[in-house]
Amino acid sequence: MTAVHLEDKDEILFRQIHPSFIQDGELSSQPFTPTSQAFAPTPKDEGYLSVDRSSMTSAGDSYRLFTSNGHASSAVYGVTVGEFCEQAIACIQAPIQASENQTANPAHALADYNPHKSGQQKNKAKRLKQRAIARGRLHP
């Protein structure tokens, strides 16, 4: 199956922020800010960062679907396809099919960090975190 790349540079991709990636913060009026770890794949992610497409869902609906499938999220932040592209990170469609334990997520996509080494991934995540924080918390 051929990967379908996301082309709309202005499309916001929603990132669920796990509670362990929230720290007390003093940026603007936000009570919490995500750590840069929230914008880098973990070893279990095999180099891909899960996101949801704003052209297909809202930040609130993305949050509700994610948490209803048994995952934890404290906030939704967003980074555009163009901002990922500025970091040489391709974004591809990756809809999730329904299973016995999970509701389908047709808006799911992946940001591909695989071309970059671990240290590069961390630096890119820091830059993307700043973009997301500048945009502000999108939900709840």
Q: What are residue 140's DSSP bridge partners?
A: none
Whether residue 22 is predicted with pLDDT greater than 80 in this model: the reply is no
pLDDT at position 58: 99
pLDDT at position 1: 54
Whether residue 79 is predicted with pLDDT greater than 90 in this model: the reply is yes
Q: Which of 27-31, 60-64, 76-80, 132-136 has the lowest mean pLDDT?
A: 27-31
Q: Would you list the domain boundaries of the chain? A: 12-135
pTM: 0.87
What's the chain's average pLDDT? Answer: 88
**Assigned token pair, 100:** 């016995």
- 139 by Cβ neighbours in 10 Å (0-12 / 13-18 / 19+) ranks as middle
